[in-house]
Amino acid sequence: MKDGHQDHGWHIFLKEAVAGRLLLQGTFSQPRRKDAETARKVSIRPLKLKNGFYYQFERFAGNQAFHENVPENEAADKLIETMAQYRQALIKTPESDVQLLANKKGAVAMLRGKPTGKPELREASHNRVKTYVIPEGEPVPFLVRLGVMTPDGKVVKAKYDKFRQINRFLEMASDVLPDLPRGRPLTVVDFGCGKSYLTFALYHLFAVKEGLPVRIVGLDLKADVIRECSRLAEDLGWERLSFSVGDIADYEGASAVDMVVTLHACDTATDAALLKAIAWNASVILSVPCCQHELFRQISQPVLKPMLKHGILKERFAALVTDAIRANLLETAGYRTQILEFIDLEHTPKNLLIRAVRGKQGSSEEVRKEYEAFRDFLAVSSFMEREWREWPKS
């Protein structure tokens, strides 16, 4: 990006972007004040309602997202007011991507770069067309090679659910882009990558679409699958995407990692991956658990017998307890965690994704006490807690 106007020039830019309906997408991040009232991130998108044109401000605070639809004639002032609360913003228009950077004295510099945004006007209608990170109709080489798209960009009918899953994952990954370090190459490790649909998608988002300097490593136990993935990465010319055969717990291929992805790592393999991420002090973790058997055999609570005596209910309950434990231990380790719904085609129609971002929220001592009471009530001992040597013992 090239240096642009200083200070109040950005006021004019925001007013013109709103007046001309040029604002495609905006993100404010890095709050100037860290308190309970300031959202860690604010996203802005245009929105068309029955009664007019609006901009939707989506604020992410804790594990919740809050929405506010601001009328078009008030949006510019709202954007300027929001910038006063954050150190940086990224505003996408058809002409350019504009980054706003505030210094310690509050002066704001504007940096312009090549446009990457695409029109994403949302209509409050049950019949609106879904806007994807990877749109339909535009051929994407890795999706063509994986059989998800035809060479002319049409989604193969039998692979449409996979196409939706890929886009849902990329939406979640896009949301955490502002939380990743900038100014240096990023390292991402994907444990249990399997056929690597989502690994290739992540590289496409980071390296191709966003132009970030990134190295992504896919790790799996199946040598034949790793060979196929390595061949495809080589054919695509993606030199900074590599694949290796290996076990999650024993992986020593990196000394520092910025983002850890673990999709369908079976049972306690998910815990091993989360512990690796904590040890690396990773900025972002995206984890979709697979089968979860460890706590099924442990849970014991007479009060819950009317539910636990039914095997299928106990199995589902044990899976929820497992993910709740993981989320709470991540919070104690200094992460803000969310549990989101994810499209999982391999095991159940829908599944959960744990998204964790490095950054203290609230009191870790309070989280620890809540967790211990929860754990003791159910009489369970998790692999993640037992193997985490730094976990404070009570």
CATH at residue 258 = 3.40.50.150
Give yes or no: residues 243 and 317 share one domain: yes
Domain count, the chain: 2
**C-alpha span between 193 and 167 (Å, rounded):** 17
For 237, the token pair is: 């010319």
Return the pLDDT at 9: 83
Give yes or no: residues 210 and 353 share one domain: yes
5 or 361: which carries more pLDDT confidence?
361
392 or 11: which carries more pLDDT confidence?
11
Structural domain contains residue 28: yes
Grade residue 234 by pLDDT with cuts at 50, 70 and 90: very high
Return the pLDDT at 344: 58
Contact 259, 285 (CB under 8 A): yes
Structural domain contains residue 184: yes
Give yes or no: residues 68 and 146 share one domain: no
The mean pLDDT value for 313-339 works out to 88
Return the pLDDT at 253: 74
The mean pLDDT value for 250-260 works out to 83
Could you say which of 64, 93, 123 is where a domain stops?
123
This prediction has a pTM of: 0.65
160 or 349: which carries more pLDDT confidence?
160
Return the percentage of the chain with pLDDT > 90, whole number.
29
Give yes or no: residues 110 and 203 share one domain: no
Q: Which of 41, 76, 42, 36 is nearest to 57 (CA)?
A: 42
Structural domain contains residue 132: no
Give yes or no: residues 330 and 375 share one domain: yes
| pLDDT one-digit tens code per residue, 343-384 | 654 544 447 889 999 886 555 678 888 888 998 998 888 888
Give yes or no: residues 154 and 220 share one domain: yes
Give yes or no: residues 109 and 219 share one domain: no
Structural domain contains residue 272: yes
Domain region containing 89: 2-123
Grade residue 64 by pLDDT with cuts at 50, 70 and 90: low
335 or 254: which carries more pLDDT confidence?
335
Structural domain contains residue 152: yes
Give yes or no: residues 67 and 211 share one domain: no
Least confidently predicted of 92-101, 130-139, 230-239, 335-344:
130-139
Return the pLDDT at 226: 92
Give yes or no: residues 115 and 149 share one domain: no
Q: Which residues contact 358 (CB under 8 A, 6 or more apart)?
A: 179, 281, 282, 283, 284, 334, 335
Give yes or no: residues 11 and 92 share one domain: yes
Give yes or no: residues 195 and 297 share one domain: yes
Q: Which of 247, 198, 195, 202 is nearest to 226 (CA)?
A: 195
Could you say which of 63, 89, 123 is where a domain stops?
123
Return the pLDDT at 389: 61
46 or 192: which carries more pLDDT confidence?
46
Return the pLDDT at 125: 44
Give yes or no: residues 102 and 155 share one domain: no
User: Does 201 have pLDDT greater than 70?
Assistant: yes
